[in-house]
Structure 1
């Protein structure tokens, strides 16, 4: 769930171990197909669609929560945001012929997060948070203490801010009714995660406080993935990393079990592999 802003020919410092600061470089699927080693491709083929997991296993998912989530984005269309991302990039002077905005459904992202066993009090971080959908889905369904997101495009981030304001208002209102409610379990947890969304370059973000890092990296170039590979060496042990469509080679990360899952995209009906790791 994020905007994929990209330009292949933007000036910047060459990539090195610690000084890569050029603007994010990304490509659309038709310009650069996802290139994975043969073994990774075999792994991808061996796992079923995560979104098709039986609902009895999605203990944190409910139709009521999804209805609340949809209410945050009732007047927002993915196609419109994709066009907005293109115009925003042009306004910022970043030229590129192809643009891409991708996201997973609420149920799919909930199921994906369940695979890494979120623990109470952990921190969730979305690198390239777009409209904030993954962040708010995590806040609604998982026992995190804090859910954070960083988005590069201000115009796209504005949608996230509006949704976060609705989340804050709804969660605060719900907390006031928990003690007086009777019968059945409340849709809202007794302690709702704090949501923090910011606009900027995720390379300036401190990742060491995160316990779960999510990145919809479909259109990230190899340079950006390499940068993340290097950055993830500083993560604290036990941190789980979810990388949509791009495998990592960081020696400090070990594959999770399962190491890769197929997740359905809400806007296209297609699927993407998500590579799952743990910092050792």
Structure 2
């Protein structure tokens, strides 16, 4: 770990919890709210809608072409031939979307869908990059507790937190509960995930209102309030919770993060996107803003590494904390820096075994 800031003692597992039965104090409300936003990683993934006006129509067309090859043993050699040049941008052995439990619908392809022979290598590569961004995962509760312990020394009260690729909203809502941010915003491309995040938020705010109404001593806007993170604030933190949380359905590259003081990237599946994301954040973020990533570091001169936490310490994967330094940058800093090349022979053996199973 870098930086002279003392390292907190990190948790290694979720502590046992019991459902909150009564709201005697604000701490009971916080506990009930945290419990209500767990478990999103096990949600049912619906398939993408196959309609002529679907925004994912190009993705569906290429996915169908790849899956058609995966489903026929006589086409496995050609599929491997087409995937082999793009291992540096592929997550896993085979793209998750073309596997039986993937997000491609089981319906027949639309008229006009091209076979793989008519799809260019550039299109396949772009598809693989997009496919990696659709994979979903969440940090466990204890990992997010560790995360906010780690960023707390660098984070002044207030400010705006932005989660790029916010999924079902767990990080955004955890941030709004844990720290006195002025606003916490989640950006999510997938419509169904955005919808589930909105539904989760409604349940969270309903539970918060019930808890506040049940307190023996009413919480007022100016009542002293201790957050679970140990930060002292006022009752407005809970009373105005809904006004501090927002979810936006959009492409992360189309949303300006100019006002953010903390950007959270659960970037484990964003490897091929890290250069573009780094350049975007360098252009838009003010000096002093924090950016955190998982698995993939930021290799850009506009960011200074504050701390690096190895896998198995703060979280199951590595977590890096950066600070934006220097003036805003209008142009990309340099060429691509994240490409990696797995062992081709080992990959092909795994791919053939998976296709045959």
TM over 0.5: yes
| Aligned mates of 2:49, 2:310 — CA distance in 1 | 31
Deviation for aligned residue 1:110: 2.4
Q: Which residue of 2 aligns with 1:98?
A: 96
After superposition, the Cα gap between the structure-2 partners of 1:89 and 1:263, relative to the gap in structure 1 and judged at 3 Å, is: farther
Q: TM-score, normalised by structure 2?
A: 0.53
Give 1 or 2: higher strand fraction. Answer: 1
* Runs of 5+ consecutive residues of structure 2 not aligned to the other structure: 2-6, 16-26, 64-94, 98-134, 229-233, 326-357
Partner SS for 1:262 = coil
Aligned pairs for 1:83-162 (under 5 A) are 83-84=45-46, 87-88=47-48, 92-93=56-57, 94=59, 95-96=62-63, 97-98=95-96, 100-117=135-152, 118-162=155-199
Q: Deviations over 1:30-80 (max 9, x none)?
A: xxxxxxxxxx9xxxxxx9994439x9xxxxxx786343222245xx65233
Cα gap change, 1:49 to 1:219, in 2 (>3 Å): farther
Conservation of the 8 A alpha-carbon contact between 1:119 and 1:144: no
Worse-matched range after superposition: 122-131 or 111-120: 111-120
The count of corresponding residues between Structure 1 and Structure 2 is: 218
CA distance in 1 between counterparts of 2:255 and 2:32 reads 32
Q: Hey, what does 1:218 align to over in structure 2?
A: 268
Alpha-carbon separation, structure 2, partners of 1:155 and 1:114: 31
Which structure: larger Rg? 2
- 5+ residue gaps in structure 1? 1-39, 41-46, 56-61
**Contact 1:88–1:153 (CA<8 Å) still a contact in 2?**
no
Change in 2 beyond 3 A, CA 1:179/1:242: farther
Aligned to 2:279: 230
Aligned position for 2:203? 166
CA offsets, 1:144-185, max 9 Å, x none? 111100011001111100111223334455566779349x96
Matches within 5 A, 1:1-280: 50-52=10-12, 65-72=30-37, 78-81=41-44, 83-84=45-46, 87-88=47-48, 92-93=56-57, 94=59, 95-96=62-63, 97-98=95-96, 100-117=135-152, 118-172=155-209, 180-181=217-218, 190-192=235-237, 193=241, 194-222=244-272, 224-233=273-282, 234-256=284-306, 258-262=307-311, 271-280=316-325
Instruction: Summarize the Cα distance change of 1:180–1:63 in structure 2 as closer, same or farther, 3 Å threshold.
Output: closer
Structure having the larger proportion of residues in helix: 2
